[in-house]
Chains A and B, each alone.
Chain A
């Protein structure tokens, strides 16, 4: 029952997202392609004709949308404007995995660091430790990700030569042994993953602290204490499980930010992922590619939200009815 409801909601959200994405191409006044050509003299008449045909721009808007959505569900986003003329989906497909790996790795790191910090600063409230983490969280909230990336690049790459600061592979990568290849890629990924996780660590640890404080005050915690259970047992068995619930929701809500952030760190660290592809497509006004990545990004977010809902079901038995 719960899952059916969630699936229905997700379907409505998907339709809504596609309508908003579709509306963007009609932002420009007049016929979309007119303005596109004015803004971008590089678009050839041939590309323009293709775009008009792809969107069926001679038909009414509702028909256009239906035609477009029919193609989108088959992952047909048309052909890129760039000189290679490859299909948009092919271009996205080869860059998607690396973006996903980095985002999943940073999610895991966010959880692994933020939850213990949040719990311990709630349990040891008003101590020096709590104050230090609070200051750290405030700095983390305010830190622009791209600036952190620049500082790390400056420190590790330029001054220390400890870690590589651009791309995924060192020169001569294909000559390395398998284990060296793995180590090489991991060394390239440390900084991007850290930058991508940084803001989330601050946010989630703050929410975890708040959520834990709320739970500590609840009646059932007092009951457990009055029954003579040990303090640690109460905190970690009774408290943690209840305090995790809101975090699962917030984690779901933070996925769009993570995916959006990949544009920044992939651009700064020259990671050949979907974010960098999106940046390049925006810069060159490669509209089919822009629309394709926007849609895929939204679908990824939906998938993330679905996982968050499943996680919620796993932690909260009340939703299983």
Chain B
């Protein structure tokens, strides 16, 4: 596809721009948190427990007197890193498995796709919780568990792309000239199937952010005092009647973040998927 066409479509696509702007803000918030956060996110202050939003604490304070805005800014970094690392793991595993299935076909394909079906029919959230029951709920374990339970979509995409690329002339030519399987996969086939993978990775980050926040909300994810949007909300549930700000702001942050990734992902799909070009819905 011509670069000009991409840029033209990008400009016309408000969804992508809005989503990209949200994600950019998130990066900025996470990167600048140490500079712009008004308070230490983990500093307990007995004098200012559950203060409503005010000039001193723009988004109020939590049940230990910590500043909610500061905790949310630092929480943005946690949310970003969980999203990116777990989707990185999922994408790597998905590409490896999908590529093997699509490239080798036959028995490998049949076995691999059955495994994918099996993984898809386990309630993922149950599986994640069960694994966390056996391991510690450190942030690394959470990233790994989310990643290892969400690669199935990517592997299906890569497999489908590989099946359609397998008999193209340039692949056959590479084969005939004696290139190794790994080289054909990495140099010739993978670059040509990256667009859908990137799109699904962006959408995957949204899902990972939701799972992490749910886990932290349940007290099984990021452990206090490390701030995460989910564990602020958990304090919000305990103080629902007296401190609305603890429940409203972090939830809004999660909603906007997830919407940002979804808009970006869907927008990229519109730009890169030629099937959607004419008669766009």
Contacts and interface: CB of A to CB of B under 8 A. Distances in A.
B188 interface: no
A146 B133 contact: no
A150 B233 contact: yes
B32 to A, nearest CB: 24
Interface string B233-253: 100110011001001100100
Contact of B237 (A20, A150, A261): A150
A138 B114 contact: no
Contact of B213 (A12, A16, A144, A267): A144
Interface stretch (B3-11, B85-93, B165-173, B215-223): B215-223
A263 B128 CA distance: 12
B218 A267 contact: yes
Interface string A248-285: 00000100110111011001100000000011011101
Contact of B124 (A145, A217, A256, A282): A256
Chain A interface size band reads 35 or more
A27 B134 contact: yes
Contact of B130 (A138, A290, A301): A290
B126 A278 contact: yes
Contacts of A253: 120
B255 interface: yes
B255 A146 contact: no
A27 B135 contact: yes
B129 A28 contact: no
Contacts of A298: 121-123, 126
Contacts of A13: 114, 117-118, 121
B37 interface: no
Given A141-B262, A142-B259, A264-B218, A282 B133 contact: yes
Given A154-B244, A297-B123, A17 B118 contact: yes
Contacts of B213: 144, 146
10 contacts: A13-B121, A21-B130, A25-B134, A28-B135, A150-B240, A263-B126, A264-B125, A279-B218, A282-B133, A298-B126
